[in-house]
Structure 1
Amino acid sequence: MSIYASENRYAIINAFYILQLEEFHMDVHEHKRCEIMYVANGSCLVELNGQLTVLGERHFVFIDQNVPHRLIVEENVPCTVLNLEFSCSPNQSGTDLHYIKKRSSSFRNFLSKPQKYQLFFDNYNMLDCLKSLIDTLEKKHLDNQFLIELLFSQFFVLLSYCMQEGKRQDGIHYTKKAKEYIDEHYLEDISADLIANHVGINRSYLHTLFSKYENCSITNYINNLRVERAAFLLKNTSMSVTDIAFSTGFNSRQHFGYTFKKYFQRSPLQYRKLPGIYIKANTSSFTQHKSL
């Protein structure tokens, strides 16, 4: 039963789990229960009403009743998922949603905007709440019922807080995490797949985020760091161009020379001969290289 129907005053938990998945393909299905799928780490795909969306770390989705959906965990992209399913009905049993609505303006706002499903980013420690709730449910002690109701009520309030947050900040979070990893490893043999796995999202989503927040490709960002380092070595050491090429992460002198000239409009040797001039790399005119 839909959580948005005012007559469905009471909520009861029907199913719950925490799973670590290496690869998983769920069949499309729907049910009358409401559902939360939360990604604790890694990333996955969720199909909702025929539309695929990526859920990364600290993402979660709320699904109302009768929405066709399925979970997909791709090979080599492991994922930890927390799941909670609950039904809402007029039957006087379970957590009283009307009571929460009276006490929380955020929850009232959530209920006033019905949607088949909603995607969220966790800014309010929803993960800790879900873990505590599932852990308490698994213990199956009769004395835990009051604690379950408290945690379940907290869950609804945090859900509404996340909705109220407005624009999701996940893209900035993942881009920052990727940049930190690149800044530490750009001199090594790194790839977009390796970076995406470290961040916990898939490669295509990472490319989209860099285009959106950095206005360049992942390769451009890495090459910018590499040629800036190479320029420093050309001016401040007697290392050969070949040695500089390999020490800054390039796999050949030819690739290094081509890339360097694209950034600095001159070859490494021509740059080295410039007396006392340091020219900052210009990435705005560089054509994206798709080697990653």
Structure 2
Amino acid sequence: MVENSIHLSQQILYKRSHKTFAKGYHFPIHAHRLSELYLILEGSCQMDLANKTYQFQAGDCVILAPFVIHSLTIPKEDTCTVIQLHFDLYHFPHFLVGQDRQNPFEMIDLFKDTNSHLLFQPTEEEAAYLLQSGRLPLPPDLYESSLQQLEFTVFLTKILYRIKREPEGRPELGSRYVQNTLEYIHHHFSNQLLLATIAKELNITPHYLNKLFKAETGTTIKHYLTLYRLNRSVELMSRTKKSLTFIAQEVGFNDVQHYSKTFRKYFNTSPRQFRQLMTPDSH
């Protein structure tokens, strides 16, 4: 087996559709392991994503991260037509650029700053691809299906490359501290983690680090860490049958009562109720 081989039969794109949601349509809070992409063709919609509300208009394209708690609402006065794709970011291959094997491109990195979604305006070429893709069923033929999976992989890679290149020049010092903070959280979230611990690791004062982080991301380190832990707990709910007590401890909560209270505070439902809402696909 070649180390850097890509299995064309590996399924990344699972479902795609071109649909119109009726006036006043509402799909309540839920989550699933597949990522979703919406291209708004006509009308508008409202999404609640990770405890925040966003309005999307015609021309907007939004990608939802895996396991993000979200809902969808269409205004009562208008319909909303979209292209909708479901895909698996965790099956997306790692790409090495040049000889730099320490820093592969990973699609999941797109969500490090928001932890919920990526909003962008597609180019004419990207919009044309999505429009064509959304109107075609996934072919049963293995080779044709493999080619379409590869086309979608190329599409996502172009999006990643374009977005990564948009901030020109070297990252500011604050941005580097924020990036290092995110990486530290992602590697140590299951442990007892304090702002002072992270600041000491990065050789910076806790107050200044939190100030840089909030200026860059719009939220505090404590809030981000909590939300990251909750999203990781949702991931564990989806792929294991472990108890909520086990999951709470696995993602860094001292006890299940504190975990349940925090989960309800952020997502307006209990972990147990939420587990019952989880579906492999969506609206």
TM-score between both structures, scaled by the size of structure 1? 0.44
Higher relative contact order (CA 8 A, sep 6+): 2
Larger radius of gyration, structure 1 or 2? 1
TM-score between both structures, scaled by the size of structure 2? 0.45
